[in-house]
Structure 1
């Protein structure tokens, strides 16, 4: 878990987890203080029941609100605002073991549509649209679901996010992964960026992760310019760190 101050581009290394965090089922509160996530370590006889949803204080993972689950369906959630969140739990299978976050759980649905069957798409696609991405189309003809999202940039450029979901695994990825491309609406030029694992618009700059490095650039008529590295994650190794709360 990492803290990122986008005003200064300072990165703070937080806690590690010996397990799997389902990144598509996570969300950060608007004020950046709290993190809701779903994780699994397959220790089915432990207090966590092998998988759990939790709310922590970013950039740490120690649970303030701790909700053991016991399987890997559903889980995680979304924030409505700094104090109110929604838990992805249609069938009420989470067990509340601790609740010290001071936040309020809302039972109302965060979106008028639903995606998937309570898994990653059910949160991820809502989160993308909430954060300004326009869902363009979905194609399932290849045996997996491929959904294209777009966000406008300056100079007629558009950032495309192609979200893969299903059981087909592309080389170097999991079952759920993203590809990206830049498309110019005026000229029709398409720049495919298959090595980008994540990308987002931040004001006048474009941000992305490629080969374990966080990078930024500006956009001009030709595409990317003034590229620079913000942080290289490759040298990071496991460290045991206690949360300061």
Structure 2
């Protein structure tokens, strides 16, 4: 009897000022793969492979989608065993790197001018390279739920009040946040139910998504491992089965207009291109 490999796990960082996103894909096992998602064409272009651990919910891409701030934990020699770095997406060649004290990291955020705020237990000066923009290292947050959802908050999600009575019974005690569809009036709802490293979820974070319909009811999206609106009001989704999709409202119905299957990719690490190796 043969058993199929577990599905890859997907998380997406969407640029706030450009039609581009970064897909962070885990699988098989300790391998990670970065892919650039061009939302205008649309198409997916492969980037770096990495063997170790990345922390997607603590990463960020610059508003124009060109820079990536990331935390990594691997088997390299110190100080390359646990570090924060800035690279050119979708590659991981560190243009600047700071040593972190293990995995006590909170997150990072790029401003519009590419200045960077890093929340972590880490050295304040880079041990490798340099960052030509301002970079401020601050202390850790103790609000772990905020840390799990910080990338959503950056993109305009906000806490939902009074929505519990519209939720399925199993989600009524969850932390609820939502975001209104750009150019529309429907909400996408995220229910955060905690952390369980034995279940499917990036960094063990357990989330469920629901889409608001015209009559105000909420439709569960059980296939969604990650979801958000893009600037055009389209629903972007990464599924638990390892696909990325674009879903649009057409003729009164939600219609999948594009998808890419990322399930069966085989690790194929390669050097980053010359443009990604320097500022």
TM-score range normalised by the length of the shorter chain: 0.7 to 0.9
SS at match of 2:153: helix
1:26 and 2:55 matched: no
1:187 and 2:210 matched: no
The residue number in structure 1 matching 2:16 is none
SS at match of 1:17: strand
Alignment counterpart, residue 127 of structure 1, candidates 123, 148, 151: 151
Alignment counterpart, residue 35 of structure 1, candidates 57, 68, 71: 68
Q: For this pair of structures, how many residues does the alignment match?
A: 229
1:236 and 2:269 matched: no
Alignment counterpart, residue 78 of structure 2, candidates 20, 36, 47: 47
What TM-score, normalized by structure 2, do the two folds share? 0.71
SS at match of 1:217: strand
Q: 1:35: Cα distance to partner?
A: 0.2
Q: In 1, Cα distance between the equivalents of 2:116 and 2:149?
A: 17
1:218 and 2:251 matched: no
Return 29-38 or 80-89, whichever deviates more: 80-89
Q: In 2, Cα distance between the equivalents of 1:64 and 1:207?
A: 30
Q: 1:60: Cα distance to partner?
A: 0.1
The residue number in structure 1 matching 2:41 is 8
Q: Which runs of 5+ in 2 are unaligned?
A: 1-33, 165-169
The residue number in structure 2 matching 1:61 is 92
Return 17-26 or 98-107, whichever deviates more: 98-107
What TM-score, normalized by structure 1, do the two folds share? 0.80
Q: Which runs of 5+ in 1 are unaligned?
A: none
SS at match of 1:4: strand
Q: How does 1:123-202 map to 2 (within 5 A)?
A: 123-136=147-160, 146-153=174-181, 156-166=185-195, 168-169=196-197, 171-173=199-201, 175-184=204-213, 187-202=215-230
Q: How does 1:202-213 map to 2 (within 5 A)?
A: 202=230, 203-210=232-239, 211-213=241-243
Aligned-residue Cα RMSD (Å) equals: 3.0
Q: 1:170: Cα distance to partner?
A: 6.3
1:97 and 2:130 matched: no
Alignment counterpart, residue 115 of structure 2, candidates 52, 69, 84: 84
